[in-house]
């Protein structure tokens, strides 16, 4: 017998995390370019973002060079696009906040994938290469406890989105709710796999 899933978050109803997420409009637009593998992943943290931010969207693919909607957004004279990606020449997030965008609304492009596949999306999607890039400078370790990360500062999509939103003074309750939903998502998965399996595979060697 198949489990009944929540139509919003896609998780089984017994572990639904979306019941207290409200889609607040944010002071910046978010557009998430999601690898197909992530769209099928049970722990899809980008879905938390779109359930919490009214002006956040997801596009699924690997090569976005010819994506009509993405090109429309990038060429919108009312938007100032920024690529959230730690490439050479990327400026710290607080530099972007302090500089302002005049009459143009900031549009942050996030890549939702493993780090290896995020680099592939960037390499294939040549339309991203000329975008001004921004990076989050932090020493904190991601709370994505069931994925190994290369080093401190490598954040999940939802954590990165929250950092961007907080920098632009987005609603604090909305930001806290996103992280609470993320923590429940990960906690439920750890419970399902069992503490001993989690400790053996992740706890002692989260960074790789």
CB 105 within 8 A of CB 156: no
Per-residue pLDDT at 49: 94
Calculate mean pLDDT across residues 74-82: 95
Q: Is 199 helix (H, G, I), strand (E, B) or coil?
A: helix
* Annotated domain spans of the chain: 21-198
What pLDDT digit, counting tens, does each position of 193-203 carry?
656 655 555 55
Question: Over 51-78, what HEC string results?
Answer: HHECCEEEEECCCCCCCHHHHHHHCCCC
Per-residue pLDDT at 205: 46
Q: What is the DSSP string of 14-61?
A: GG---TT---BPPSSEEEEEE-HHHHT-SS-HHHHHHHHBTTEEEEE-
Just give the CATH number of 21-198. 3.40.1280
Calculate mean pLDDT across residues 66-86: 95
* Single pTM value for the model: 0.85
What pLDDT digit, counting tens, does each position of 9-52 carry?
777 777 777 777 888 999 999 999 999 998 877 678 899 999 99
What pLDDT digit, counting tens, does each position of 90-145 carry?
999 988 888 777 789 999 999 999 889 999 999 999 999 999 999 988 777 665 55
* CA pair distance 53, 58, nearest whole angstrom: 12
* CA pair distance 208, 198, nearest whole angstrom: 16
* CA pair distance 32, 37, nearest whole angstrom: 14
């Amino acid at each position: 017998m198949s489990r009944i899933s929540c139509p919003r978050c896609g998780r089984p109803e017994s572990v639904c995390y979306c019941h207290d997420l409200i889609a607040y409009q944010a002071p910046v637009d978010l557009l998430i370019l999601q690898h197909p593998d992530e769209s099928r992943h049970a722990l899809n943290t980008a879905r938390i973002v779109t359930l919490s931010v009214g002006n956040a969207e997801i596009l699924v693919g690997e090569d976005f060079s010819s994506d009509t909607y993405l090109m429309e957004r990038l060429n919108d004279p009312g938007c100032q696009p920024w690529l959230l990606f730690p490439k050479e020449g990327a400026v710290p997030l607080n530099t972007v906040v302090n500089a302002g965008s005049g009459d143009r609304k900031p549009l942050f492009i996030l890549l939702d994938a493993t780090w290896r596949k995020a680099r592939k999306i960037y390499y294939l999607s040549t339309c991203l290469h000329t975008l001004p890039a921004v990076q989050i400078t932090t020493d904190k370790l991601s709370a994505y406890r069931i994925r190994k990360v290369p080093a401190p500062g490598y954040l999940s999509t939802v954590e990165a989105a929250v950092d961007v939103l907080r920098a632009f003074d987005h609603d604090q309750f909305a930001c806290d709710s996103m992280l609470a939903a993320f923590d429940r998502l990960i906690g439920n998965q750890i419970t399902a796999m069992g503490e001993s399996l989690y400790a053996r595979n992740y706890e002692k060697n989260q960074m790789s």
